[in-house]
């Protein structure tokens, strides 16, 4: 039972740091400009068009095979 009392005393020795900041002038949070986002792509516009054509062609072939 003594070990439990020692444990409770150890817990009381800890400092509660919440709410310990000093009162000061209230500062409004500064507003930041939105982060600039760079558009990055693996493919160029030409490669993107070629891939789109290839995918559409493959889908057309699959649809035609499905109809037969």
10 to 18, 20, 24, 34, 45: CA distances (angstroms)? 19, 21, 33, 47, 66
> Looking at residue 6, what is its pLDDT?
74
What is the signed CA dihedral for 58, 64, 67, 68, rounded to 10 degrees?
-120
> Looking at residue 56, what is its pLDDT?
96
> Looking at residue 13, what is its pLDDT?
56
Cβ-proximal residues to 43 (8 Å cutoff; 6+ apart), any chain = 51
User: Hey, what are 7's tokens?
Assistant: 């444990």
> Looking at residue 57, what is its pLDDT?
95
- pLDDT digit string (tens) for 2-54? 777 776 666 655 666 666 666 666 666 667 888 899 988 899 999 999 999 99
């Amino acid at each position: 039972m003594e070990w439990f009392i020692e444990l409770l005393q150890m817990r009381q020795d800890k400092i509660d740091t919440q709410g310990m900041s000093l009162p000061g002038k209230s500062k409004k949070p500064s507003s930041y400009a939105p982060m600039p986002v760079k558009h990055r792509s693996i493919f160029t516009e030409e490669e993107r068009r070629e891939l789109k054509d290839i995918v559409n062609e493959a889908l057309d072939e699959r649809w035609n095979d499905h109809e037969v």
